[in-house]
């Protein structure tokens, strides 16, 4: 049966871009929310007094992803922070962020979650927030802005469907999924 609703982000992963594609996916625990907006515009062309043709541009996605706490491993591997001999992380104004693939699951009313990979992503630094504890403890979160651009092959993101095989789903985070020309059994 096809899913009718979606809820609950989980199982987030990232994989640094390498010379030969993508590094191994690394778990990114504590995903709270993701809101990635499509980038690009529809441009109408008018002729004969009507919208004669509409072209659409796909500039990828951009938006915010919220986590309970951004792990230090992500800060080092993707944001370019460095660790000194005393295990103190340093943010360097000259550091170049590393491109990465970003994947996660979204639960549905079907038994299989929808799985995503977004490609050619860059991330902003999270802001630093803290406040005093009151009668109840309300955790603060880290939010990063992610921009996902089309690759040289035009691919922007991958998403599983209800017909995606169990073997493809099972391997989703063992390696970043790449475009297949033949079906996996």
pTM of the entire predicted model:
0.89
Q: How many CB atoms lie within 10 A of CB 38?
A: 16
Whether 133 is in a domain gets the answer: yes
Cα 99 from Cα 120, distance rounded (Å): 6
Task: Give the pLDDT confidence of 111-153 residue by residue, as tens digits.
Answer: 899 999 999 999 999 989 888 888 888 889 999 999 999 999 9
Q: Is 171 left (phi over 0), alpha (psi -120 to 50) or beta?
A: alpha
Low-confidence ranges of the chain (pLDDT < 70): 1, 185
Cα 112 from Cα 106, distance rounded (Å): 9
Q: For position 134, what pLDDT does the model report?
A: 87
Whether 177 is in a domain gets the answer: no
Whether 182 is in a domain gets the answer: no
For residue 17, how many C-alpha atoms fall within 13 Å in the half-sphere facing its CB? 17
Q: For position 185, what pLDDT does the model report?
A: 66
Q: For position 182, what pLDDT does the model report?
A: 82
In the chain, how many domains are there?
1
Full residue range of the structural domain in which residue 49 is found: 6-170
CATH classification at residue 52: 2.30.110
Q: For position 3, what pLDDT does the model report?
A: 78
Q: For position 1, what pLDDT does the model report?
A: 65
Whether 129 is in a domain gets the answer: yes
For residue 95, how many C-alpha atoms fall within 13 Å in the half-sphere facing its CB? 21
The answer to whether 112 touches 169, Cβ cutoff 8 Å, is: yes
The answer to whether 160 touches 172, Cβ cutoff 8 Å, is: yes
- The secondary element (H helix, E strand) that includes residue 160 is none
Task: Give the pLDDT confidence of 122-131 residue by residue, as tens digits.
Answer: 999 998 988 8
């Amino acid at each position: 049966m096809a899913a009718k609703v979606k809820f609950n982000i989980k199982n987030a992963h990232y994989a640094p871009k390498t010379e030969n594609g993508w590094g191994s996916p690394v778990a990114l625990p504590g995903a709270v929310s993701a809101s990635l907006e499509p980038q690009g515009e529809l441009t109408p062309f008018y002729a004969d007094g009507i919208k004669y043709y509409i072209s659409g541009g796909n500039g990828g996605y951009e938006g915010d992803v919220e986590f309970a706490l951004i792990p230090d491993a992500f800060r080092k591997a993707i944001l370019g922070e460095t660790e000194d001999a005393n295990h103190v992380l340093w943010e360097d104004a000259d550091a170049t962020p590393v491109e990465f693939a970003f994947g996660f699951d979204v639960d549905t009313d079907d038994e299989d979650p929808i799985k995503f990979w977004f490609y050619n992503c860059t991330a902003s630094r999270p802001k630093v927030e803290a406040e005093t504890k009151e009668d109840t403890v309300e955790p603060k979160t880290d939010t990063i802005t992610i921009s996902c651009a089309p690759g040289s092959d035009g691919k922007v993101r991958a998403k599983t469907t209800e017909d995606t095989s169990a073997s493809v789903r099972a391997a989703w985070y063992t390696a970043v999924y790449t475009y297949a020309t033949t079906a996996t059994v």
